[in-house]
Amino acid sequence: METVRSPSKLSNSHLEAQKGPEGHMVTKRLQSELMQLMMSSPPGISAFPTSDSNILEWNGTITGPEDTHYENLTFRISLSFPGNYPYAAPTIKFVSPMWHPNVDLASGQICLDILKEKWSAVYNVQTILLSLQSLLGEPNNKSPLNPYAANLWDTNPKTYKQKVMEHYQEITD
């Protein structure tokens, strides 16, 4: 077992972290996660760092799962990793407009427990993306960020789908 670092020691800001020894750990971890993601290339999800100089910022792409309102639709997300990752959760947002009970339409913020209080260092980019993908088909309507969407999901699937398509923007360059 490697030495377990106490998370409290790691509350550095991004820049510091990138230089310090912990920053090296973040870089290594993210590099190996990227490698793992590339090797397995799970269908419908994908992610990549936005620039070769900063591995803490990634873009991701999620394709809606089959037999859901989001089937065949593709959405862009942004992933931002803190300097003490994986001891703290990355910040993840939808960049594409997203009509979904647990996503704030305006800001793209996502309400998902594993990205907040249930975060654990065993999660990685791949599990996050898979969780997000399944969130599309199984929203948690108990704590919606978009109550209108939550309401429609239960009562009027047809209008729901219409709304999804209304806000959907295909990814262009």
Partner 1 sequence: MNKQTRLKQVFKANKHLNLIDSKAWNIVWDYLNLDQYPLPPSKEIKIAFASLDPSSVFSAYSSAVHSHFLKNASPLLTHQSCDNDVCNLANTVNVVKVHYVQRWIALNGPPAHNQKLLDACSALIEVSLPSEIEQMTTDLYIHAIEARNPERARTVYSVFRECGLHTFSDSCLTSAVKHTVTSHVTNSYRKTWDSSAYDDLMYWIFNVVVSSLSYITDLKESELNAVNDLACDALAALRIEEIYDIVCKMPQSEPALNDLSATLRTPKLRLDLVNTFLSQSSISLLRAGIPTLEIICRYIATMEAFRRIEPRGVLLDRVARPIRNYLRERSDTVSLIVAGMLNREDSPISYISESIKKKQAYRDTGDDYNDPAWVPDPVDAAPDFSSSQMDIVGSLLNIFESNDVFIREISNCLASDLLKVREYDVNTLESQLKALRNRFSEAAMQSCNIMIWDVQESAATDAHIHQSSDDLSVFHSHIISRYFWPSLKEEPYRLPQFIEALQEQYGVRYSEYKPLRKLKWYGVGSVAISLELQDRTCAFNVTPLQASFILLFEDTAEGMTLDTISQKLGCTKRVAEGAASFWVKEGILTQNGTIYTVVETTQDDSDAVMEEDVEVEPKDEAQELRDSLGAFKPFISAMLTNLGRLPADRIHAFLSSLSSDENPYRSSKQELIKYLDMLVEEDFLEFDKGYKVRK
Residues within window 104-133 making contact with partner 1, judged by CB under 8 A:
120, 122
| SS3 call for 47 | strand
Residue of 21, 43, 52, 142 interacting with partner 1 (CB under 8 A) = 52
Closest to 87 in 3D by CA, of 155, 5, 154, 2: 5
Report the residue number, 132 or 149, with the smaller CB distance to partner 1.
132
Residues making up the chain, counted from first to last: 173
Under rule CB under 8 A, residue 38 binds partner 1: yes
| Residue 111 annotated as catalytic | yes
Query: Which residues, in sequence order, are CB contacts of 119 under 8 Å at separation 6+?
Result: 88, 89
Report the residue number, 125 or 152, with the smaller CB distance to partner 1.
125
Report the residue number, 87 or 153, with the smaller CB distance to partner 1.
87
Under rule CB under 8 A, residue 1 binds partner 1: yes
Under rule CB under 8 A, residue 14 binds partner 1: no
Contacts of residues 107-112 at CB distance under 8 Å and 24 or more positions apart, as own/partner, are 108/77, 108/78, 109/145, 110/135, 110/145, 111/140, 111/143, 111/144, 111/145
Name the active-site residue from 45, 103, 111, 164: 111
- Which secondary structure element, helix H or strand E, spans residue 85, and what is its range? none
Distance of alpha carbon 70 from alpha carbon 63, whole angstroms: 8
Under rule CB under 8 A, residue 8 binds partner 1: no
Residues within window 72-91 making contact with partner 1, judged by CB under 8 A:
76
Stretch of 13-21, 47-55, 134-142, 148-156 contacting partner 1, by CB under 8 A? 47-55
Give catalytic residues, as residue numbers.
111
